[in-house]
Amino acid sequence: MVDNSFIVISGFLNLIGGILLLVYWYAFAIFLPYGRLSDTLAILVENRNWIWINSLGALGALCGLLGQAGIYVLQIDNSSPASSIGFYVAVAGTTMLIGTMLWESVLWPILVKHDRKLLSFQGPIYTSKTFFPFFVMAGLIYSAGYILVGIGINQAGLLPKLTGYLIAIGAPTFGFGSMFGKYQVYPRSLGVTLMSAGLIWIGWIMLV
């Protein structure tokens, strides 16, 4: 028997996670000079709002990570291989995403004070043979996990199918959007909007 309080708490975490991710991403457009982004992230990282905005994103992703447990438990009697595998892969991918967001929040401001070229899209970080493959791998795991979670939601039939589509499309669009350099704002805005809509919708259903 599923503990209803666990489902309610997980629903709250999904709801808050979706809201925080939306606030985090659109705060970029409001509080950071995204219009002047060209060949380096330094102009954003140097801004005094960088740390708190990215911290909101990490907190939102953490809430979503914890909320995944509730989605899985809610559907456990109707679970499929996609939902079971997707749960573990999504947890792994989100954990890697949170790590990425945390180091971007606290480490990059230190780097940019020493050398702005470090955060150039043609600089040593983005062209590194170790960093960039890890970045791609994290995006692949994160995306694959939520694609499977979305498929699992549709197969279980306990949540609206549209929520599964929102998550399955939104997560990879957001996760791989950063690979588009100075144009990343467009795919990532679409991705985070879809992903957040799915999480908020699921969270609300789990609450009521």
What counts of helices (H) and strands (E) characterise the chain?
8, 0
- What number is the average pLDDT over the span 193-208? 95
DSSP class of residue 116 equals G
Task: Please report the pLDDT score of residue 72 as a whole number.
Answer: 93
Q: What pLDDT score does 124 carry?
A: 86
Average pLDDT over residues 92-118: 90
Q: 135 falls in which pLDDT band (50, 70, 90)? A: confident
In tens, the pLDDT along 35-62 reads: 777 778 888 999 999 999 999 999 999 9
Give the chain's largest Cα–Cα span: 56
- Band (pLDDT 50/70/90 cuts) for residue 8 is very high
Is the pLDDT at 123 greater than 80? The verdict is yes
Report how far residue 199's alpha carbon sits from residue 16's, in angstroms, rounded to the nearest whole number.
9
Cα→Cα distances 4→70, 83, 166, Å:
10, 20, 25
For residue 125, the model assigns a pLDDT of 83
* Contact assessment for residue 7 and residue 73, using Cβ atoms and an 8 Å cutoff: yes
State what percent of residues in the chain have pLDDT above 90. Answer: 60
DSSP-assigned letters across all residues of 14-77: HHHHHHHHHHHHHHHHHHS-GGG--SBSHHHHTSTTHHHHHHHHHHHHHHHHHHHHHHHHHTGG
Tokens representing 104 are: 């971007």
pLDDT at 139: 84
Please report which confidence band the pLDDT of residue 14 belongs to, taking 50, 70 and 90 as the band edges. very high
Average pLDDT over every residue of 131-158: 89
Give the mean pLDDT of the chain. Answer: 90
Of 93, 95, 71, which Cα lies nearest the Cα of 154?
71
b/e map of 19-28 (b: 16 or more CB within 10 Å)?
bbbbebbebb
Global confidence as pTM: 0.89
pLDDT number for residue 1: 58
> Which helix (H) or strand (E) is 100 found in, with range?
helix 81-106
